[in-house]
Amino acid sequence: MSHSGLIALAGFAVAAIAMLLVTQTKQRVSWPGWLVPTAVVIPFAVLTGLVIAEEGLFGFWPMLMESPWGLQVWLDRLMSVTAAFYLLQNRARATGMKSEVWVIVVIFTGAIGLFLMLARMVYRERKMAILSEAD
């Protein structure tokens, strides 16, 4: 199996395990929840940087145009990121985050921006909860 195949398989395994662990959480976690999306996005951002350095900023474009599967994966990704942003934005606004700024970040960075937005939102929600408990 190629390096890309191993990375894809490992990424799938990590994502599946993370999703299964999240579904088993019955109550609010006591540790800083924003660390989870941050820990996920850092290696992905590094990998993305390496790929951009090797293949160029638009190196993905030929993959999209070569087959219907490439187009399908691209559209699936766009739909998933759009749905996630839609679900996050109201909670993010409630913490004082500016949706306009984050939509630009997500448009240009995709999942990296989405995970950063999620980490920031969870951090701000936790901070607001702690402040309201102190009152």
- Successive 10-residue mean pLDDT values, the chain, 135 residues: 79 76 65 77 88 87 84 88 91 91 91 92 88 77
In a domain, 61, yes or no: yes
Q: Identify the pLDDT of residue 9.
A: 81
Domain range enclosing 75:
32-134
In a domain, 111, yes or no: yes
Q: What is the pLDDT of residue 16?
A: 78
Question: Closest Cα partner for 41 from 107, 117, 124?
Answer: 117
Contacts for 15 with CB less than 8 Å, ≥ 6 apart: none
The answer to the question of residue 76 being in a domain is yes
Tally the domains of the chain. Answer: 1
Q: Quick check: is 80 in a domain? A: yes
Would you say residue 95 lies in a domain? yes
Q: Quick one: pLDDT at residue 61?
A: 83
For position 26, what pLDDT does the model report?
A: 63
Quote the tokens at residue 127. Answer: 């901070």
Q: Is residue 96 part of a domain?
A: yes
